[in-house]
């Protein structure tokens, strides 16, 4: 009996070495984005296209273009989002920032754009990135494209629909960061 108990204690102790820590964070959108937006990430429409052009005409680093700055702030990984809205807004902002007239971004190209989540290690982090898992209702959503070497994951629009919250697991060798994004925050994403 003593041997069985000792073996169980060693197994539990040894197994604990392989447990990866988990950290929870709550997503936050950069404040002050103008023009206002509460439609969430969706395919580009004439309304969102012209809204994105107006967004891109702003100077500085407008929150409507860089709404994802600090989205899931944590000590290991930064997230960047690329959406149809952001593609249009960023193209206009890039050109206007060079003191040139606002361009008319390609609408058809924006219609083909899906949602790409990019992951960048935070400077000084020792937690090596190994994967991203987006979950709706606790179930993993399979990306349409996954590039582990560049840390880019592309999803179709239902993955980010604002009907219910989602979570994004940023999996590292040392720990996993779970970012919860509630429905109200999803509606503010562009």
Residue burial 161-180, b: 16+ Cβ < 10 Å; e: rest: bbeebbbbbbbbeebbbbbe
The number of helix segments (H) and strand segments (E) in the chain equals: 5, 9
Q: According to the model, what pLDDT value does residue 3 have?
A: 46
Q: Directed axis angle between helix 84-96 and helix 46-56, to 10°?
A: 30
Q: What is the structure's pLDDT at 91? A: 98
User: What is the predicted pLDDT for the residue at 20?
Assistant: 58
Dihedral, CA atoms, 7, 13, 14, 20, nearest 10 degrees? Answer: 150
Looking at residue 22, its pLDDT comes to 84
User: At 26, is the pLDDT very low, low, confident or very high (cuts 50, 70, 90)?
Assistant: very high
Mean pLDDT of 30-42: 93
- pLDDT recorded at residue 24: 95
Cβ neighbours of 82 (radius 10 Å): 17
Please provide the average confidence, as pLDDT, over all residues in the chain: 91
pLDDT computed for residue 43 by the predictor: 97
Q: Over 80: is that where the pLDDT of 17 sits?
A: no
Spatial CB neighbours of 135, under 8 Å, sequence gap ≥ 6: 141, 166, 167, 168, 169
Q: If pLDDT is split at 50, 70 and 90, which confidence band does 170 have?
A: very high
20 vs 7, more confident: 20
pLDDT in tens, 126-158: 999 999 999 999 999 999 999 999 999 999 999
**How confident is the model over 47-64, as a mean pLDDT?**
96
Angle (CA) 90-190-120 rounded to 5° is 65
How far apart are alpha carbons 57 and 41 in whole angstroms? 20
Structural domain boundaries in the chain: 20-188
pLDDT confidence tier of residue 105, bands split at 50, 70 and 90: very high
How many CA atoms lie within 13 Å of 18's alpha carbon, on the beta-carbon side?
4
Whether the pLDDT of residue 1 is over 80: the answer is no
CB 114 within 8 A of CB 155: yes
Distance CA 115, CA 149 (A): 18
């Amino acid at each position: 009996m003593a041997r069985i108990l000792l073996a169980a204690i060693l197994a539990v102790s040894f197994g604990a070495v392989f447990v990866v820590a988990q950290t929870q964070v709550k997503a936050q959108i950069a404040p002050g984005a103008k023009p206002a937006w509460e439609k969430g990430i969706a395919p580009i429409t004439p309304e969102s296209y012209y809204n994105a052009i107006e967004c891109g005409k702003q100077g500085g680093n407008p929150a409507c273009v860089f709404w994802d700055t600090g989205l899931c702030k944590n000590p290991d990984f930064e997230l960047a989002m690329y959406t149809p809205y952001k593609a249009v807004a960023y193209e206009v902002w890039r050109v206007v920032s060079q003191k040139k007239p606002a361009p008319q971004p390609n609408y058809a190209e924006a219609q083909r754009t899906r949602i790409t989540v990019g992951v960048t290690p935070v400077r000084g982090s020792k937690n090596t990135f190994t994967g991203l898992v987006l979950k709706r209702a606790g179930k993993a959503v399979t990306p349409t494209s996954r590039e582990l070497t560049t840390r880019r994951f592309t999803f179709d629009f239902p993955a980010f629909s604002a009907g219910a919250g989602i979570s994004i697991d940023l999996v590292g060798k040392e720990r996993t960061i779970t970012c919860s994004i509630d429905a109200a925050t999803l509606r503010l994403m562009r």
